[in-house]
Structure 1
Amino acid sequence: MHLELWEATVGRWGVTLPLTGVPIPDHRALVAELTALGYTDVWSAETSGSDAFTPLALAAQWSPEVRLGTAIAPVYTRGPALLAMSAATLAEVSGGRFVLGIGSSSPAIVTRWNGAEFAEPYARTRDTLRFLRAALAGEKVTREYPTFSVSGFRLEKAPEHHVPIVLAALRPGMLRLAAREADGAITNWLAAEDVPRVREALGPDKELAARIFVCPTEDADAARALGRALICAYLTVPAYAAFHDWLGRGEALTPMREAWAAGRRTEANALVPDEVVDALVVHGSPERCRSEIAQYAANGVDTPIIGLLPTGEDQLDLARRLAPGVG
């Protein structure tokens, strides 16, 4: 896809950083090139590698133009005030180019790894969103929220510009909350064909960002093997299982889920149908991958965000080859 066509049909084009296996300082040259390549956004992730904020603080200095977003910062693993301080700091160092993505995360990250109770995820996300909107606007917050309380907190230096807040959302309840009270929603693990249903639940007026898992290799067997492993790990998590039930993929995934729940992990992996992998993981040549990513945008995603999967090739080079201005 040539840059002119991309600009006419897509608009935004993001990438998840840091890339797998690449030290954070080694991203500097790539980040400096991103806007020339056609990228508009850098989004972080936070699981068990880097935190959500530090790579973006560096990227803010390496590129004067790219938009930066967390996808996502969990609402349980930082106190509300600390989350507000981190967002305000990144908004300052980026000159107002920061988007705060928050979400409930998962029981594994919240409870098993961080020792916090994973309770009432919808309510906790809603309450954190409401607190952050007030705090980032410079208000002094003293309030009893249903899931936590804050007494007398005010940011020492509130952001000069509005900090957009977007919610990690999979199903209608959270998508509607994002539509009512946030600036948009972030989703992932969906096919291009699923986008209209998600967009309908969010509505037409709020930004929809989607992390799209991309494996740029023409070795379809290798891409599907990696895709199956990831699908087993993610789509057995209750929130993602319910998401795919809603999307109509539950029947196709039931045999995999049952084998996984019984501890038959190898069998579960083999039970993920090829058509499910091909729908949820973009793979093929970089040119084909760019075309499939653009289809998400055509179906209603405002900001497609590449989640680059490892192929054995140089990750930095692959990120350049997936840029919309290449080819």
Structure 2
Amino acid sequence: MKVGIAAGYWGSSPPRHVERMVDEAEALGVDSFWTAETYGSDALTPLAWWGARTTSIKLGTAVCQMSARTPTALAMAAQTVDHLSGGRMIVGIGASGPQVVEGWYGQPYPRPLERTREYVEIMRAVWAREKPVAYQGRHYQLPFAGGTGLGKPLKSIVHPLRSDIPVYLGAEGPKNVALAAEIADGWTPLWFSPKSDEFYRAALAEGFARDGARRSESDFEIANTCWLVEHDDVEKAAARLKPTVALYAGGMGAKGANFHNDVFARMGWGEVCSEIQELYLSGRPELAAQAVPTEMVEDVALVGPADKIIDEIVGKWKKTCLTTLILGGWPKPENRERILDAVMS
């Protein structure tokens, strides 16, 4: 298993000490560095800014929201970073949810799987640079079918460093996971739990079995962000993540349209998720966080003393379908090499 490190997306301001973390991660042989976006900081600018100080670590987005950019715009950005980094870019994309897509970007959300398929096809056509890009899909048309009528197919001025930049799909539901296995080079789960491994293996197998599937199980990457909080007291470590779990399980989206809630419900936390969502949507996020059991946090994160974290990496996480464990937290200096070795050995 490979190991990655995540800077994620920002809160109210840029996270501190990322520069030092990236320097240390590259020196210790960490495979990849990842950024993210919601509706504040974007994923690409920090990736380029912090990635500029590196020479070997892969640079990935987990994820860029598709509605934030047209497929050609993201293809341009990806090939630009790929050139500047010497071929280290991984383009992680995701459909996000209706709350963000329609509320923040002002774009329609329906038929996200179909839209994802079109998006990826257009990006790959840009990078292949075999001919001017023309595409007529349900969601994207190149040239635009309307307007002045003066649009014409165009071919990228830039010759991509790689004509086939890796694309990973962010996915949580079984249909989207199967789509990732069918059309992408990798999958970036969110809130993956080792107890759900069999469920996800079945969804991936369905995608690999489809006609024209791009990859097989043997050459498909699965890179999951796993939050890590070290503390001698497990309860105190878990408490730091409970507000985040409550936000995703309870506050992201509307009742009946929260994909993160569905993920936790599949783990067996359905009744708890209903309570968390009820509290969060009624304006009581603090109580929602208090309703998150420590065991629910432990299902999806590494919390507690270093020895416990290492035991769980070896005993649970390395036995799953994951190929990269992206740590959403930089281990303490005294435990860093032991934790990284537990993943990589």
Q: TM-score, normalised by structure 2?
A: 0.80
Aligned partners of 1:35 and 1:291: how far apart in 2? 24
Change (3 A) 1:91 1:195: same
Aligned partners of 2:301 and 2:66: how far apart in 1? 27
Larger RCO (alpha carbons 8 Å, 6+ apart) = 1
> 2:171·2:177 contact (CA, 8 Å) conserved in 1?
yes
Shift of 1:296: 1.9
Residue 300 in structure 1 maps to residue 321 in structure 2: yes
In the alignment, which of 223, 226, 230 is matched to residue 244 of structure 2? 230
Aligned partners of 2:49 and 2:157: how far apart in 1? 23
Structure 1 vs Structure 2 CA RMSD: 2.9
1:189 maps to which residue?
191
Shift of 1:24: 7.2
> 2:60·2:92 contact (CA, 8 Å) conserved in 1?
yes
Shift of 1:20: 6.5
Aligned partners of 1:20 and 1:169: how far apart in 2? 21
Aligned partners of 1:267 and 1:25: how far apart in 2? 28
1:13 match: secondary structure: strand
Q: TM-score, normalised by structure 1?
A: 0.84
2:247 match: secondary structure: helix
1:251 maps to which residue?
271
2:289 maps to which residue?
269
In the alignment, which of 81, 106, 121 is matched to residue 115 of structure 1? 106
Once the two structures are superposed, what CA deviation does each residue of 1:128-182 show, in whole Å capped at 9, x if it has no partner? 1121122121142211111121221422124232201010011211111111111
Residue 126 in structure 1 maps to residue 117 in structure 2: yes
> 1:41·1:69 contact (CA, 8 Å) conserved in 2?
yes
Shift of 1:249: 3.1
Aligned AA (1:242)? D
Aligned partners of 2:186 and 2:195: how far apart in 1? 20
Runs (4+) off by over 4 Å: 18-26, 315-323
Aligned partners of 1:18 and 1:258: how far apart in 2? 27
> 1:165·1:184 contact (CA, 8 Å) conserved in 2?
yes
Aligned partners of 2:142 and 2:238: how far apart in 1? 47
Aligned partners of 1:278 and 1:316: how far apart in 2? 19
Shift of 1:29: 4.1
Residue 156 in structure 1 maps to residue 176 in structure 2: no
Worse-superposed segment, 225-234 or 90-99: 225-234
In the alignment, which of 298, 301, 309 is matched to residue 289 of structure 1? 309
Aligned partners of 2:334 and 2:128: how far apart in 1? 39
Change (3 A) 1:111 1:271: same
2:212 maps to which residue?
none
Worse-superposed segment, 199-208 or 62-71: 199-208
Worse-superposed segment, 79-88 or 56-65: 56-65
Aligned partners of 1:219 and 1:25: how far apart in 2? 24
1:312 maps to which residue?
none
Residue 169 in structure 1 maps to residue 171 in structure 2: yes
Aligned partners of 1:127 and 1:15: how far apart in 2? 30
Gapped runs of 5+ residues in structure 1? 1-9, 310-314
Worse-superposed segment, 115-124 or 91-100: 115-124
Residue 15 in structure 1 maps to residue 5 in structure 2: yes
Shift of 1:102: 0.3
> 2:10·2:40 contact (CA, 8 Å) conserved in 1?
no
Worse-superposed segment, 141-150 or 255-264: 255-264
Identity %: 29
1:218 maps to which residue?
232
Once the two structures are superposed, what CA deviation does each residue of 1:232-274 show, in whole Å capped at 9, x if it has no partner? 1101331112223344432342222333344444443332223
Gapped runs of 5+ residues in structure 2? 144-152, 206-216, 253-257
Change (3 A) 1:20 1:321: farther
Aligned AA (2:264)? H
Aligned AA (1:169)? A
2:72 maps to which residue?
81
Shift of 1:303: 0.8
> 2:306·2:335 contact (CA, 8 Å) conserved in 1?
no
Shift of 1:19: 8.4
> 1:138·1:154 contact (CA, 8 Å) conserved in 2?
yes
1:76 match: secondary structure: helix
Aligned partners of 1:158 and 1:246: how far apart in 2? 45
